[in-house]
Chain A
Amino acid sequence: MKKTLLKTESLSKSFSSGGTLQHVLKNIDLELYEGDFTVIMGASGAGKSTLLYALSGMDTPTLGRITFGDQVISDLTPDELAVFRRRHCGFVFQQIYLIDGMSVMDNVLAAGLLADRNKKALAERAAKLFEAVDIPPQTRRKFPSQISGGEAQRAGIVRGLINSPEILYADEPTGALNSQTGLDVLNVLSDFNRRGQSVVMVTHDMRSARRGNRILYLKDGVILGECDLGKYVHGDAERHEKLSAFLAEMGW
């Protein structure tokens, strides 16, 4: 029996656009489990990112309830949500979003120090994570504009993990990278997931989605279907067929 980390009940999100109300998410009931690599798939405009914002506390739902453990996060104020994010969530963005004016190391430490962590312990953890993603010490002292996109995204993953979040949210983490670099990033995410890190990733790329053990397919703001792929193993052709069949069934 998996432990539920986060649960949504009748989660809905609407936006007002040009005088009309657009219902982007409609009555979503969902549970995220500890240790899972959950992938949210869907076509453009399906509501994937909106769902990710709501789950991670970056945005508040229009209707419904989101519970993280015992905490109802859908009722929190923006500042309480900020505290929630820094304590329980990590983020990896498509555009990476390292801060230009800070070195790679400072980008990571700024997030870590925010959570009132011991600086020495934090530096040790940062060093371990950098080693794990293969970023050497000299690169850590560089500025984001001085490193490659792959290095930047791996540094982004370190930043996302520095506070040992319960869930690492990744929004199209390979979207801005070339195929080989994207593969490296996916390997890093899979590697951390294997070590117990829960990951929620939004993607519309099948190759990326294959890394997840649980695939949710979103269409027009509704979770249309769910597929259990099991734990990722490199070169597992069966997973690919199973995912293809699931997506075909969903009308992909």
Chain B
Amino acid sequence: MKNSRHFWRKWGGSMNREILLVRSNLRRARGQSISIAVLILLSAAMLNLWLMLSLDYKQNFDRCHDRLHAGHVTLAVDGDSKEVRPALTRIVEDMRAVDFSMEDSLCMVGSFAYNGGEVNTEMVFLEKEAALTRSVGRAEIIEEGDESSGVYLPMLYKTGDIDIGKTIELKIGSNTMEYTVCGFFNSVMAGSHNCILCELLLTQDQYQELEEKGYALRSTLLSVRIADKSESEDFEAALKSKVTAEFPGARVSSNSYAMVTTSRYISQMICSGIVSAMAFFILLIALVIIASNIVNYIQENMRNLGALKAVGYTSGQLVGSLMLQFLGISLVVAVLGTGISYLLFPYLNTMMISQTGIPYEVRFLPIPCLWTLMILGAAVAVAVWLSSRRIRKIDPILALRQGIQTHNFLKNHVPLEKTGMPLHLALALKNTLSGVRQNVTVCVTMLVLSLVVVFSGLMIENMIVDINPFLYMVVGEMADSCVNVNEGIEEEFLREMEADADVEKVYLFHLMNVGHSGGVELMASLCDDFTKVNNQSICIEGRFPRYDNEVAIAAKYAREKGLKIGDEITLTVGEQKADYLITGFTQLTNNLGKDCLLTREGYEILGDLQNLSFYLNLREGVDLEAFHEKTKERFGGNIHTTIDIQSTISGTASVYVTLLTIIVCAILLLGVVVIAFVLYLLVRTMLNRKKREYGILKALGFTTGQLILQTALSFMPAMILSTVLGLAGSSLIINPLMALFLSGIGIVKCTFLVPGGFIAAAGAGLVLLAFGIACLLSLRIRKIQPCALLAGE
């Protein structure tokens, strides 16, 4: 403390003197200070939210993972546990796992109604008590009722329709079971539809009943902890490969820590990206305004600053007073902003829990707070220091003699005798051209807000109004129905479907896993003819595979591994290996960018297909449920599962749609608030600076309305120009920016439709809004009296 005081004095400071100057400055510009404070407040709130999301929210997964002693790799393999367990134990021990746990389970692809759609996933049924006492990967009950018989669901699925005491209908394979919901639980590695495996806990009686009915296959659930969790994907690939080799033909499903942690935190990634972008944009605007305010202050107070220097103030003291003023406001307000972020966080948390499925308790986090204060403090200090350096150059004598020079006298912009413009427009344009700082501030604000408008337009068009463009990009292939059949009835099934009047198109589209030699496990989409797939944009570069020795791989994965089109890669299934030529790059997010496309023949070099998934496009108006029933009746037990693809997707997608709708509304509202405050500052500064000029013009006969119009119009050239440029530029960069933003889930190229009409209308709306706000704020001109100009008696 003593040292800091010594430093302050050495630098030329004396707190009392600086505080006097600060108080005087604040009194003069109370409104501007409040507006800057509001912008800093918003920025601090969002910065702290972003830091909490980045530094702690995702770490909650690790805390939960540790608390439940969860595995880093989870694998479910069909087969009686007595046969499977010894082999699995041997494999896992050979692979030097740190710890593992195995449990009897029942596995089957199943679905249930959720969020207005359907969840379709690999269901892993466990007996409740066994699941709660597993040594690795135990589940924990979050909520439960008095029901003694029924099902416990992952807490992610707790919605109005699914709640304790209510009945849920589960479609398990081609059968349907009804259960009473007894409660909700949390399982880190298998507690959501994003985890490939979805655990469902049954009470003992219900577990036994399901086992007896044989609707789901007896399986073994293995959870493995490894020493280095960063190797979870490699471990999973190796484990799966060994298990597949050990039990050829058995269905093996697995996930890894890396995959689950990424997929469960997509909403965190989206929110955190948007919040951080908005925080830094608003901070940038606030800094431009602070800098502009200081430059204005120096110009308008040149004589006063000269006088202060003349009476002995040093440049350091004068800069110090500005530093104290703006840093003081910023830090106090930043503390309030962090407080506000704690009020907002619970709402954000509620929204995100519907996707992460892991409960998060909002609590005070000192480190994000400190970072927020440091970032804001440092940014404001740099802005103040850079913009106030001019004070050092002020010569007291020159300043006292010359006073202010607020205009560029080198050029008369828009000479009235030559211009053909209407008078008020010409005078507004003069104002515009003489206010460089005003234009810079307007341009920065409008460029930022243009990006916000384009982003919002993109989200509204491609996710909220019509979600298909987004789904095509992230889901990949979509059709009306997916029917999984026994391999033996393939020919008959295809013949019948092609003859069925309800069916428009049928084609094989089956998902399998293959290993990449020297890489990780890839999810392979198999098709007998890729020209039949509905989404031809899956392949974003090169072409789909046509021959059995060709493969198209995920662009993200190819980048990571340095693979190019034309390279050859080795794929494996169990002990089988084959080389494939890369013909194209794909973009799918099913497996977070670890995917590939193979022809059916290409896959069959590596392994056999036990069952086959066919995608069907149905004719307009066909009742999908009735069609599925009809198909099941026709083929009986040879149909494993039927999936309503659209419904499945919409169930999950609605979570994102809701989240993005709220985010888009919030950022648009924030945009309006920002533009209002920026204009408030600019108009207020202009009115203060030009008070005398307005008085003169009023005395000459200009009406208040004419002066308001001139003032508002003076913002328009910079506003229109920057909005047009901003919208055009943002429209060009928004797709690459979105790709960068979504790169975490495997997106490398976005082809979202940029809604030109909406963006043009929103841009025009933005300009009109700004014009309206500028007019409203300029109403203060009414208070300027021309008689105040005349010399006092």
Residues in A lying within 8 Å of B, measured CB to CB: 44-50, 52-53, 58-59, 78-79, 82-87, 89, 91, 93-95, 97, 99-103, 105-106, 109-111, 113-115, 119, 123, 141, 143, 145-146, 159, 171-172, 175
Contact = CB atoms under 8 A, between A and B. Distances in A.
B570 interface: no
A93 to B, nearest CB: 6
20 contacts: A48-B793, A49-B791, A53-B787, A58-B699, A79-B704, A82-B701, A82-B703, A86-B700, A86-B701, A86-B702, A95-B789, A95-B791, A102-B412, A105-B417, A106-B430, A110-B700, A111-B700, A111-B701, A114-B702, A143-B412
Interface string B97-122: 00000000000000000000000000
Nearest to A24: B793
B530 to A, nearest CB: 68
Contacts of B787: 53, 58-59
A111 B696 CA distance: 10
B703 A101 contact: no
B229 interface: no
Given A105-B415, A110-B416, A171 B791 contact: yes
A201 B695 CA distance: 20
Contact of B696 (A44, A99, A113): A99
Interface stretch (B354-362, B401-409, B443-451, B600-608): B401-409
**What band does the interface of chain B fall in when counting residues whose beta carbon is under 8 Å from A?**
35 or more
Interface of B: 405-407, 409, 412, 415-417, 423, 427, 430-431, 434, 692-693, 695-705, 782, 785-787, 789-793
A64 B138 CA distance: 92
A112 to B, nearest CB: 9
B407 A100 contact: yes
B699 A91 contact: yes
A97 B416 contact: no
Contacts of A99: 693, 696-697
Nearest to B410: A143
**Main DSSP-derived SS at the B contact region:** helix
B430 A97 contact: no
B790 A53 contact: yes
Name the residue in A45, A94, A106, A141 with the highest tally of chain B Cβ atoms < 10 Å from its Cβ: A106
Contacts of A102: 412, 416, 430
Given A100-B406, A145-B405, A44 B701 contact: no
A95 B731 CA distance: 52
B790 A143 contact: no
A106 B418 CA distance: 10
Nearest to B791: A94
B428 to A, nearest CB: 12
Contact of B791 (A87, A113, A143, A175): A175
Contacts of A146: 409
A102 B417 CA distance: 12
A143 B696 contact: no
Nearest to A171: B790
Across the A-B interface, the 10 shortest Cβ-Cβ residue pairs: A86-B701, A109-B416, A53-B787, A94-B791, A79-B703, A58-B787, A113-B423, A82-B703, A59-B787, A85-B701
Given A45-B793, A89-B701, A159-B700, 11 more contacts: A47-B793, A49-B792, A58-B787, A79-B704, A93-B696, A93-B790, A101-B406, A106-B430, A110-B697, A114-B700, A114-B701
Contact of B793 (A44, A86, A87, A111): A44
Contact of A101 (B407, B702, B789, B791): B407
A134 to B, nearest CB: 20
